[in-house]
Amino acid sequence: MKFAVIVFPGSNCDRDMYHAAKDVLKEDADLVWYENSNLENYDGVLLPGGFSYGDYLRSGAVASTSNVMKQIKAHAEKGKPVLGVCNGFQILLEAGLLPGAMLRNKNLAFMCHQEPLAVANNQTQFTTEYAKGEIVRFPIAHGEGNYFCNEQTLADLKANDQIVFTYENNPNGSVADIAGIINEQGNVLGMMPHPERAVEELLGSDDGLKLFQSVVKNWRESYVVNR
Amino acid sequence: MKKVTVHVTLKQGVLDPQGKAIQTSLHSLGFPEVEEARVGKYIELTMEDDADIEARVKAMCDKLLANPVIEDYRFNVEEAVQS
């Protein structure tokens, strides 16, 4: 499986994402600069964390208008997997690929520590290797991770089982303890916690490994079926 | 030339942690009369006049300057003062 890790000016978790895909998962991966990107030959798109464009205007707002987002939308429309972590999640929200928006953390602080999460939906292509309700530990590192959506959107997210990860001890004020959501088609996942920083015991947790393994396994299975 | 001033504010009902912190600070400075503080953004655009200027600015707000999920906006179009 071949991954594109999209790099914006201000991305800072791009190397972590690349390391997870390339060195730990042993899959193909490229760091792809947002300006000279052609995503046609990639199977999966990884939007890393960081502070694209210095978080000017709103986190992810400026990156969401870049040319590469049109390609990511086209990639997503083909049903190919897209994972946005932290700033990547914020970009997906701003681009309209996922519903809702981010507010400042309830306590106004930038928080950087490990958080326990529950796998709320293990029937997505990103989570099949987990058990439903399994508690995993991923680092969080954000100042604007307070997920917000209106009541109708929240009802839709619940009805369609689009809430994939929830916080056990909600650190930022997110509605319904939401840590990660998926689109209706089930191929675009956005989450604030960092699975790519939890792929080796040395990092304090390897609970994120199963997320990437799920993607690869499900891609392989559908690849065999579709060829 | 026109000067467009855009005010972006959080929607009523959306929690504003910054506003809340400002309110608390004002209270501790001896301004207990402040019942609510809300923080917004102010953006100035200088642009060519155009018959569609209102519609164009509205589109800019909807597409980029404000996030309709959490924010409201209002704007004003006036003659730019040449300096």
Total tally of structural domains belonging to chain B: 1
Q: Is the pTM of this model over 0.90?
A: yes
B10 contacts in chain A (CB < 8 Å): 103
User: Is A61's CB within 8 Å of B17's CB?
Assistant: no
B65 contacts in chain A (CB < 8 Å): 57
Burial of A78 (0-12, 13-18, 19+ CB in 10 A): exposed
CATH code of the domain containing B68: 3.30.1280.10
Q: Does B64 touch chain A (CB under 8 A)?
A: yes
User: Is A101's CB within 8 Å of B69's CB?
Assistant: yes
Interface predicted TM-score (ipTM): 0.82
Q: Across the strands, what pairs with A190? A: A84, A181
C-alpha distances (whole Å) from A135 to each of A58, A199, B19, B49 are: 31, 15, 35, 57
**A188, A97 Cβ separation under 8 angstroms:** yes
Assigned token pair, A155: 């009802």
Does the CA dihedral A107-B61-A10-A203 come out positive or negative? positive
CATH code of the domain containing A216: 3.40.50.880
A149 contacts in chain B (CB < 8 Å): 69
Catalytic residue annotation of A: 86, 194, 196
User: Is A104's CB within 8 Å of B17's CB?
Assistant: yes
Range of the domain at A66: 2-226
**B73, B66 Cβ separation under 8 angstroms:** yes
Q: Does B25 touch chain A (CB under 8 A)?
A: no
User: Is A101's CB within 8 Å of B65's CB?
Assistant: no
Total tally of structural domains belonging to chain A: 1
Angstrom distance (rounded) from CA A195 to CA B8: 34
Per-residue pLDDT of chain A (227 residues; tens, 9 = 90+): 999 999 999 999 999 999 999 999 999 999 999 997 789 999 999 999 999 999 999 999 999 999 999 999 999 999 999 999 999 999 999 999 999 999 999 998 999 999 999 999 999 999 999 999 999 999 999 999 999 999 999 999 999 999 999 999 999 999 999 999 999 999 999 999 999 999 999 989 999 999 999 999 999 998 777 65
Closest Cβ–Cβ partner in A99, A104, A150 for B18: A104
Phi, psi angle pair for A20, to nearest 5°:
-60, -45
Range of the domain at B13: 2-79
